[in-house]
Amino acid sequence: MSDSERMVIVGASLAGATAAETLRTEGWTGPIVLIGEENELPYERPPLSKGVLLGKDQPEVAQLHDRAWYDDNNVDLRLGSKVTAIDTGARRVTLADGSEVEYDKLLIATGSRVRKLDVPGADLPGINYLRTAAESKALTDAYAAKPRVVVVGAGWIGLEAASAARERGSEVTVIEPQSTALASVMGEQVGELYADLHRQHGVDLRFGVGVESFEGEDHVTGVRTSTGDVLPADLVVVGVGVQPNTELAEAAGIKVASREDGSGIVTGPDLRTSVPEVYAAGDVVRWDHPLLGHSIRVEHWQNAKDSGKTAAKAMLGQKVAQDALPYFFTDQYDLGMEYAGDVPRGTSYHVVLRGDPASGAYLAFWLDDDNHVLAGMHVNTWGSLDAVQDLIRSKKQVDPARLADSSVELSEV
């Protein structure tokens, strides 16, 4: 590779900025252009739904680097710039202002966007989504008035938003079409443990309930549910998932998985796309995971960091593979949790608990029918995650009874 070659990164996201940083730390001295649609410096999202939303931290804590870092490392950071097209034949990207940037190697790190509810009243002021730094700041400020809050969706974002609202003194109601919290990602048994946590903190949980409409004229005043109830609301937080921003790639002829196949830009383990010299990282990539043995797309912080590093090294010609186990964490009230592994949708599994959930400190494991550990999490049991990941990576059959026995070391189950 020649130092005159230009690396262009579309998406000044965590994955994109991590890739730029990795290119420099790996010794690349050639030009790097990092293009972001937002006007904010690249940032991490977890603080936005945790410390910032609680009013404990300022949004700036989420920034990866200050502006001087990009200048000092000769990264051409272009904020407030939207890429409208990728021409893989001419190897250039077109921006909304009509300008063009040529590339020798391209990384697509366009992330994902929130799914929005399409019901009457959905555009009323007071209805909030939580994805960007600006949205987090607006919601944090609104929480200060201790409004009556209705949260739509009992996934991770919804539960963290509910937790922060309760801790700041608001009345909170959560509505969710599924049978319990986190049912699609944790299953009913573990999901109900999280539901109980919120009940214990005074959250009104309504499961099996959807949204028919939002009420109000100049501002939201209530949520009409599928049961016909109208829940009073001064503020609504909607957390019903995200969808990857694959449109640019698809329009450029880059292979993208269908929604039925899980969406995402399709790559191999090295995060190379179907088009030469084009790579993908972060929420937007669906790659062949060499350890898990199937394709996967992950919408969490750790994957953005890991895949940004892997993609950068691949762009430099290094032989790499994105083999990190999916990982995420949450903080709600006095609960701290870390999770690793993957349970593909439709997989038959059973859950083994290690420790008493009533104590507030325990582990949970998801096992397939042959008793291989697919995933595991700890709740307030710090220092145990490495052993959990070792079990997953080993792919060995375990004895569920020994796994549940806290007197048996995890390395010996």
Which pLDDT tens digit goes with each residue over 236-257? 999 999 999 999 999 999 999 9
Query: What does the alpha-carbon distance between residue 50 and residue 56 come to, in Å, rounded to a whole number?
Result: 9
Task: Quote the pLDDT of residue 189.
Answer: 97
Same domain? For 227 and 264 the reply is no
Tokens describing residue 177: 């079409």
| Residue 325 forms part of a structural domain | no
| Residue 60 forms part of a structural domain | yes
Q: What is the CATH number of the domain that holds 145?
A: 3.50.50.60
| Residue 145 forms part of a structural domain | yes
DSSP string, 173-239: EEEESSSSTTHHHHHHHHHHHHHHHHHHTT-EEEES--EEEEEESSSEEEEEETTS-EEE-SEEEE-
| Residue 372 forms part of a structural domain | yes
Task: Quote the pLDDT of residue 385.
Answer: 96
- Cα–Cα nearest to 263, from 298, 229, 289, 237: 298
The number of CA neighbours under 13 Å toward the Cβ of 261 is: 13
Task: Quote the pLDDT of residue 1.
Answer: 67
Centre a 10 Å sphere on the Cβ of residue 223 and count the other Cβ atoms it contains. 28
211, 152 contact by CB (below 8 A): yes
| Residue 407 forms part of a structural domain | yes
Which residues of the chain are under the pLDDT cut of 70?
A: 1-2
Same domain? For 221 and 254 the reply is no
48, 133 contact by CB (below 8 A): yes
Q: What sections of 36-146 are H helices per DSSP?
A: 67-72, 133-143
Query: What does the alpha-carbon distance between residue 247 and residue 265 come to, in Å, rounded to a whole number?
Result: 10
Q: Which of 240, 274, 303 is the last residue of a domain?
A: 240
| Residue 173 forms part of a structural domain | yes
Average pLDDT over the chain, rounded to an integer = 96
Q: Which of 223, 240, 257 is the last residue of a domain?
A: 240
Asked whether the whole model's pTM tops 0.85, one would answer yes
Same domain? For 57 and 21 the reply is yes
Same domain? For 283 and 340 the reply is no
Domain with 24 in it: 7-113+243-315
Which pLDDT tens digit goes with each residue over 14-25? 999 999 999 999
Same domain? For 228 and 144 the reply is yes
| Residue 218 forms part of a structural domain | yes
Query: What does the alpha-carbon distance between residue 327 and residue 344 come to, in Å, rounded to a whole number?
Result: 14
Task: Quote the pLDDT of residue 333.
Answer: 97
Same domain? For 109 and 152 the reply is no
Task: Quote the pLDDT of residue 4.
Answer: 79
